[in-house]
Amino acid sequence: MGDYVDQIRRFGSTDSYSTQLGEQAHSSIKSLYGLTNKKNPMRQIGAKYNRNRHFRDTEQKEIEETRRSDHNNKHHVVAPYNDCPINIFTFVRENSMDPAKKNFISKLKDHLLGRILGRDFDADMHEDFSEDERNTIRLRNNTIFRHKTIRINYTTYDIRRDSNILNPRNRRYCMVPAAETDVELNPHPFWYAAVLGIFHTEVQHMGPRSQNLGWRKMEFLWVRWLGVEPGYVSGRNVARLPKIGFVPDSDDFAFGFLDPSHVIRGCHLIPAFSEGRTKTLLSYEGHTEARPGGDMSEDWVNFYVNIFVDRDMIMRYLGLGIGHREKGTASSSQVHMRGSEQEVDHNMECGVIEEEEEYLNDTVDADNGSDSDESGDDSEDDGDDYDTL
């Protein structure tokens, strides 16, 4: 899985080859004739061909350098630029009635302080930091720096690397592991958020609990949370997609901050068109940061989570992706679809290869009365079935 010889990566598999490739190579040279002035065309065609080859080689070199870089091994990548500084006090004073900016500075300090102190992810809902503790957080020049995009890298169910680009204007929805751990409450396995802004800042932690007085760079996402529709049942057994909606702005935790390292990947949400739009989720009709790229007066009442957007996404809800690993500290996590009778317990503490071996061993043990060769064939057939989703 994921293991290909170098020739296949460079030229493709044998079933993708056609003699038309060589036959059509003549047309590319002949097409350059129309770009000449018809005087000594062979010399001009040669010059244009050499120029195109130079550009192609340069582009290929850039692609190879990008491929060799360690960006694909990082969980997320934000551009290392400081060309969009924002003073936090000026930012809050501008359009101060915007519900998205309510308690912006105190929430930001709670978020940064919680990360520095090593708190477990809870969407900053602890509410136990005093004002004196918040004042131990200092931002260099009271400035944060905005970015346009962030790339989230993740491991797919078949142990490959893929990425999503999050953009606050038109690709802003993402998913994170749910913080609920009580299995008896049958929690939804994921939380969802709309990214309003991508920032980084330089932070200094002072006070008696500080372990390092130096400045450190910290990246964070400003988000608007979406919650699961109460009383709505979804899952395979009822043939329903998960339904979610924006948390009303009357809730103190409708807006908050998120560590990019907790983002699993981007997600695709489908508006529930039959339910229409509403103004009740955001009681402010002026310009607001809560709607950075869409309609400035109303929100969709609900969204459906498109779990079929790709094979990796569906495996996250079925719980059968051997390449999936959570970033949390819990040794295990249960993935249980609402409305489904099946629970899948998969070990999140093992490495990717260990999870693969454990999955295959479980498949062999479950095949009573079969020898090892037949069990191996069954496991391979199962993998082929997943690829057809």
Q: Flag whether pLDDT at 274 surpasses 80.
A: yes
Higher pLDDT, 30 or 306: 306
> Region 145-168: what's the mean pLDDT?
90
- Long-range contacts from 184-187, C-beta under 8 angstroms, 24+ separation: 186/336, 186/338, 187/336
Task: Using a pLDDT cut of 70, give the percent of the chain over it.
Answer: 74
> Region 256-284: what's the mean pLDDT?
92
Q: Flag whether pLDDT at 131 surpasses 60.
A: yes
Distant-in-sequence, close-in-space partners of 40: CB < 8 Å, separation ≥ 6: none
The model's pLDDT over 209-245, given as tens digits with 9 standing for 90+, comes to 888 889 999 999 999 999 998 888 888 888 899 999 9
Q: Which residue type sits at 22?
A: G
> Region 66-90: what's the mean pLDDT?
83
Task: Please say whether the dihedral angle defined by the alpha carbons of residues 118, 84, 176 and 103, taken in this order, is positive or negative.
Answer: positive
pLDDT of 380 reads 37
Higher pLDDT, 255 or 72: 255
Higher pLDDT, 201 or 2: 201
pLDDT of 25 reads 76
CA 273 vs. chain centroid, Å, equals: 25
According to the per-residue pLDDT averaged within each range, which of 85-94, 175-184, 344-353, 377-386 is highest?
85-94
| Euclidean distance between CA atoms 78 and 58, whole angstroms | 25
> Region 276-301: what's the mean pLDDT?
82
Name residue, tokens 């899985």. 1
CA 367 vs. chain centroid, Å, equals: 37
pLDDT of 326 reads 54
Nearest to 336 by CA among 188, 228, 190, 155: 188
Q: Flag whether pLDDT at 386 surpasses 90.
A: no
pLDDT of 35 reads 86
> Region 132-145: what's the mean pLDDT?
90
| Greatest CA separation for the chain | 82
At 310, phi and psi to the nearest 5? Answer: -160, 175
For residue 269, what pLDDT band results from cuts at 50, 70 and 90? very high
For residue 11, what pLDDT band results from cuts at 50, 70 and 90? low
Q: Flag whether pLDDT at 350 surpasses 80.
A: no
Q: Flag whether pLDDT at 268 surpasses 80.
A: yes
**Radius of gyration in angstroms for the set of CA atoms belonging to the chain, rounded to a whole number:** 26
pLDDT of 347 reads 36
pLDDT of 309 reads 92
Higher pLDDT, 6 or 356: 6
According to the per-residue pLDDT averaged within each range, which of 18-27, 120-129, 310-319 is highest?
310-319
- When the pLDDT of each residue in the chain is averaged and rounded to a whole number, the result is 77
pLDDT of 349 reads 34
Range from 92-96, 127-131, 167-171, 217-221 carrying the lowest mean pLDDT: 127-131
| Euclidean distance between CA atoms 360 and 362, whole angstroms | 5
For residue 129, what pLDDT band results from cuts at 50, 70 and 90? confident
> Region 345-367: what's the mean pLDDT?
41
> Region 132-158: what's the mean pLDDT?
91
pLDDT of 340 reads 35
According to the per-residue pLDDT averaged within each range, which of 17-21, 44-48, 79-83, 86-90 is highest?
86-90
pLDDT of 328 reads 34
Higher pLDDT, 328 or 101: 101
